[in-house]
Amino acid sequence: MVRAPCIDKNGIKKGAWSEEEDNKLRDYIERYGHWNWRELPKYAGLARCGKSCRLRWMNYLRPSVKRGNFSKEEEDIIIKLHQKMGNRWSAIAAQLPGRSDNEIKNHWHTHLKKRGTNQSYEVVHELKEEQKVNIERIIDFSGLHLSTSSDNIVSNESSQRIFDDSSSGTKHRLLFDLNQEYVESWNEDSSLKEELIQ
């Protein structure tokens, strides 16, 4: 059920648009274009404000507006772009021809929001796992071996510094140095490449 339109003290109509109003707006814009949204309603014979006319045109009446359900590909693009740009709906809409920013925003909040946050959690979790594996590879390569005990006792004196040193800068520096050695050796020794790849 749609609320009946009302008219404010300035004679501006608010509420649902009628088919007659849609036709007036569409005909005027197709004939003269949208040169000034504030002045357009007066010349088009509409008792609406310019903002209402602009939103009606941009979100519903424009011929290039794509109607209907979002495809799986469009949903994936929205999720990726939202992770990158946040709530910049106009910028996201620019990447999806035919979809309005309002439609994308509504679809996000009603269908994709929960899915998007779950996917971003999975991506962060995968990155953390990948970093952990890389650190383990670097430590293994350098000849430092971790014991299996729960308190992270390390058999080698230099690797002990990784866990015991309270300064995180030192930990990062040591891991950086180990990484450099790992990369240099990787480039020099082709047999090591084959071994690690398998």
Q: Indicate the pTM of the whole model.
A: 0.50
Residues 57 and 83 in one domain: no
The residue range of the domain holding 188 is 142-197
Residues 83 and 54 in one domain: no
Averaged pLDDT, 113-125: 61
Averaged pLDDT, 98-122: 79
Is the pLDDT at 18 greater than 90? The verdict is yes
Q: Is 46 within the bounds of a domain?
A: yes
Q: Is 105 within the bounds of a domain?
A: yes
Cβ–Cβ < 8 Å for 93, 101: yes
Residues 20 and 50 in one domain: yes
Q: Which amino acid is at 138?
A: I
Question: Quick one: which H or E segment has residue 198?
Answer: none
Residues 109 and 89 in one domain: yes
Q: Is 134 within the bounds of a domain?
A: no
Averaged pLDDT, 128-139: 69
How much is the pLDDT for 91? 93
How much is the pLDDT for 12? 86
Q: Is 131 within the bounds of a domain?
A: no
How much is the pLDDT for 123? 53
The token duo for 152 is 């992270």
Q: Is 51 within the bounds of a domain?
A: yes
Residues 12 and 39 in one domain: yes
How much is the pLDDT for 150? 40
The token duo for 98 is 């035919």
Residues 158 and 113 in one domain: no
CATH for 118:
1.10.10.60
For residue 42, what pLDDT band results from cuts at 50, 70 and 90? very high
How much is the pLDDT for 195? 47
Residues 57 and 76 in one domain: no
Judged by average pLDDT, the poorest of 41-55, 131-145, 150-164 is 150-164
Q: Who has greater pLDDT, 197 or 74?
A: 74
How much is the pLDDT for 188? 56
- Distance of alpha carbon 84 from alpha carbon 145, whole angstroms: 38
Cβ–Cβ < 8 Å for 185, 192: yes
- What are the residues facing 146 on neighbouring strands? 154
Residues 77 and 104 in one domain: yes
Q: What is the pLDDT of residues 147-197, one digit of tens each?
A: 444 444 444 444 444 444 445 566 666 666 666 666 666 555 555 445 444
- Give percent above pLDDT 70 in the chain: 56
Residues 13 and 48 in one domain: yes
Question: How many structural domains are present in the chain?
Answer: 3
How much is the pLDDT for 30? 94
For residue 28, what pLDDT band results from cuts at 50, 70 and 90? very high
